[in-house]
Amino acid sequence: MANKNQLIRYLSIDEMLRNRQKNFPTKAAIIAVIQERTDKEYSASSLEKDLRAMRDGFFAPIEFNNVERGYFYGTKNKGKDKKITYELDLEYRFLSISLSKNDVFALNLAESVLQGFKDVGILSGFSDAVDKVMDAVEIRKQLGNDQKKNAIVQLSTPTYTKGRELLSDLVRAINEGKQVNFIYHKFANQANLSAENQPKNQAEKQENDLLRVAHPYLLKEFKGRWYMIAYTDARKTIQTFGLDRISDLLISQKSAIPPEKHNFSPENYYENCFGVTRKADERIEKIILSFNTFRGNYIKTQPLHHTQQELVNNDQEYRISLDLMINFDLIMEILSYGDDVKVLEPIRLVDEMKNTLQKTLNRYSITN
């Protein structure tokens, strides 16, 4: 069995022989790459031994093209006129393994999901990585017709959202424990803000579009949008920033305050929260929702939250409880079910729903 250095050499040779951008790598080029990757001396005779081992042990169709003066996967043929022709083998896969149909389907499904994020900077190498995996396991060969595969598995592909290009830099800032500087533009409609959410002073009113300094701790995706959760010196609290509202992002050389200094736990921060909007001091409440039986079937098979508990399940209603903080995202989710749902508890959420629905009715009663 090949040891670690042998495997590195074999894989390096395989990679160079299958590189369509640089066909027919020379002996000198292969030796240089292997010496760099293994940090060991590597001679021409060692290369010949490796090529022979790959041919004999892995059935690699390695040949030398005398015209191009380089190696390739394929065949060398001599015609009746003694003229030599070369034919590339594009099907050979080094170290190929056999997969079950379920294995192939699982990998294919994962690829379909991740394809929606391949334009994100941090995942820019995704396509190449998937190609390498697919090469190694011969998925293309086993799947056969890719068009058929695409037709029978179709997922909701997220559209591009402004701000995704910042993910790579923000991940790096969090991993390296650095502060970030940026300009932030709020979407909040001041006229529709509740009294408790109104800016508390003139400084807060003027805060929009000013330079922010933050200590980033967490990145969270919700309904196709990405958010940064960070501590800010200006507010001296944890805040949530939509990446689509951030511009002029710079990673500072200053170290960020560790999250534990603010009792912030990325794993637990959203434990009892639906969506991304929450206040650091928000309390958890018992929320009781009553759905009609039709909508209840959907809620039963796809729970709203991991705290969901079934209370009533009969021919009249499907009632559940949730242990959550009451926030904007939760209210919007409940409203999305229209008259299929009724809030039973707590009273303040019942009142919030009534007020919101009344404002909606008022908009329809206004004549232009």
pLDDT averaged over every residue in the chain: 82
In terms of C-beta density within 10 A (0-12 exposed, 13-18 middle, 19 or more buried), how is residue 349 classed? buried
Q: Is residue 246 part of a domain?
A: yes
Which CATH number fits the domain that encloses residue 232?
2.30.30
Q: Is residue 267 part of a domain?
A: no
Question: What is d(CA 83, CA 35) in angstroms, rounded to the nearest whole number?
Answer: 36
- Same-domain status, 185 and 229: yes
Domain boundary among 57, 88, 119: 88
Q: Supply the DSSP string of 260-302, one letter for each residue.
A: GGGT--TTTTTTT-SSS---TTPPPEEEEEEE-HHHHHHHHHS
Q: Is residue 238 part of a domain?
A: yes
Q: Is residue 272 part of a domain?
A: no
- Same-domain status, 223 and 145: no
Residue 188: pLDDT above 70? no
- In 3-state terms the chain splits into helix, strand, coil percentages (rounded to 5) of 40, 25, 35
- Same-domain status, 174 and 258: yes
Tokens of residue 84, six digits: 């030599």
Which CATH number fits the domain that encloses residue 328?
3.30.70
- Same-domain status, 248 and 295: no
- Same-domain status, 292 and 217: no
Q: Is residue 158 part of a domain?
A: no
- Same-domain status, 53 and 131: no
- Same-domain status, 77 and 132: no
Q: What is the pLDDT of residue 8?
A: 82
Q: Is residue 69 part of a domain?
A: yes
pLDDT in tens, 20-75: 788 899 999 999 999 988 888 999 999 999 999 999 888 899 999 999 999 999 99
Domain boundary among 34, 60, 88: 88
Q: Is residue 96 part of a domain?
A: no
Please tell me which residue, 179 or 12, carries the higher pLDDT value. 179
Q: Is residue 177 part of a domain?
A: yes
Pair type for strands 62-65 and 70-78:
antiparallel
- Same-domain status, 83 and 107: no
- Same-domain status, 115 and 181: no
Average pLDDT over residues 289-303: 95
- Give the percent of the chain with pLDDT over 90: 50
How far the first Cα of the chain sits from its last, in Å, is 81
- Same-domain status, 207 and 169: yes
Question: What is d(CA 19, CA 70) in angstroms, rounded to the nearest whole number?
Answer: 12
In terms of C-beta density within 10 A (0-12 exposed, 13-18 middle, 19 or more buried), how is residue 203 classed? exposed
Which CATH number fits the domain that encloses residue 34?
1.10.10
Q: 356: domain range?
A: 285-365
- Give the percent of the chain with pLDDT over 70: 74
Please tell me which residue, 119 or 169, carries the higher pLDDT value. 169
What does each C-alpha distance from 151 to 50, 107, 146, 156 come to in angstroms?
Answer: 43, 16, 9, 13
Q: How many structural domains does the chain have?
A: 4
Domain boundary among 32, 63, 88: 88
User: How far does Cα 327 stand from its chain's mean position?
Assistant: 25
Tokens 């909606």 -> residue:
360
- Same-domain status, 179 and 115: no
- Same-domain status, 182 and 255: yes
